Structure 1
Amino acid sequence: MKQVTILLLVFLSTTAFSQSKFSNDEISINGFRNPSIGVEYRHKHISVHAGYYITAFESGVTTKFLKTGVTAWFLPVGKKENPSSFYAGVSFLRGINLEYKDENALGMEVGFRWMVWKGLNLRIGAIGVAAKGHDFKINPTPGISYSFFL
């Protein structure tokens, strides 16, 4: 519960930052893990995403989820038209294999998105996954995406 409270405070505090550097609208095609293999829509400093999420809680074992959630973007870095920035998000995960099959989980994520070139971007972050009957787990969340700015 403490982690959820901290995450909500981060979301609320992002509105205190000037968000004038962020474009109004963006659609991203996400090709690897972060936030999921799927799509994401961002309006100013808030985005929603949905897709297929894979992770390895233990070496050599891939756990799979369907994932949807919301992300807050803050502290834009640099003077590019579409700057790199930090993010924090919360997601609903639905297990589709192994010990999480047909179970719900909560994901809490923080990290940084580096705008490499035009719409190409890389993400590095960490996710904490909480589910009833399972230990709280933290994993790295690398990602690669291409964004279209509307």
Structure 2
Amino acid sequence: MKQVFFTLFALLLSSVAFSQSRFSNNEISINGFRNPSIGVEYRHKQISVHAGYYITAFESGVTTKFIKTGVTAWFLPVGKKENPSSFYAGVSYLRGINLDYKDQNALGMEAGFRWMVWKGLNLRIGGIAVASKGHDLKINPTPGISYSFFF
């Protein structure tokens, strides 16, 4: 399962080179929910970096918390808006801060779609695979809401 996910991730990232660049040069996003984290993100053209607080539920009713930082590639812009909706794929470092993941390192790999709703308001839907030593691979949905400033 891990090898399939890593292969899919590599294919998604390789498509960045073939994507027509319609992205703004710079963007700062304030992320209010889960995807990529509750925090900030800076994008330059088709690559972004993010950092923040990440929560997820690997089990129903149990919230696992992490500090998360990573890099994302943006590709295949959709629509005719000045700041188009697009697909993304990213990789992140997660540091557990509670429960079974407390003080443990994890690798997150995610992919999904960001819909530019209105001006800077955007919604994301995707999925993340979280791998950590001593734990089974976990795959969860990653909804998100953000507001972006373009310059």
> Which range, TM-score by smaller chain?
over 0.9
Deviation beyond 2 Å, 4+ runs, structure 1: 3-6
Aligned to 1:65: 66
Write the distance in 2 (CA, Å) between the matches of 1:6 and 1:78. 25
The TM-score normalised by the length of structure 1 is: 0.96
Aligned to 1:23: 24
Matches within 5 A, 1:28-107: 28-107=29-108
What are the Cα deviations for residues 26-78 of structure 1, in whole angstroms up to 9, with x where unaligned?
00000000000000000011100000000000011000000000001000000
Aligned to 2:131: 130
CA shift, 1:18, in A, is: 1.4
Counterpart of 2:106, as a letter, is A
Aligned to 2:16: 14
In the alignment, structure 2 segments of 5+ residues that lack a partner are none
Number of aligned positions between the proteins: 149
Counterpart of 2:65, as a letter, is K
What are the Cα deviations for residues 68-99 of structure 1, in whole angstroms up to 9, with x where unaligned?
00001000000000000000000000000000
The TM-score normalised by the length of structure 2 is: 0.96
SS of corresponding position for 1:15: helix
CA shift, 1:7, in A, is: 1.6
SS of corresponding position for 2:100: helix
Write the distance in 2 (CA, Å) between the matches of 1:6 and 1:79. 28
Aligned to 1:119: 120
CA shift, 1:126, in A, is: 0.4
CA shift, 1:5, in A, is: 4.0
Write the distance in 2 (CA, Å) between the matches of 1:5 and 1:70. 18
Write the distance in 2 (CA, Å) between the matches of 1:14 and 1:56. 31
Identical aligned pairs, as a percentage?
81
SS of corresponding position for 1:132: coil
Given that residues 27 and 150 in structure 2 are in contact (C-alpha distance below 8 angstroms), is that contact kept between their aligned partners in structure 1? yes
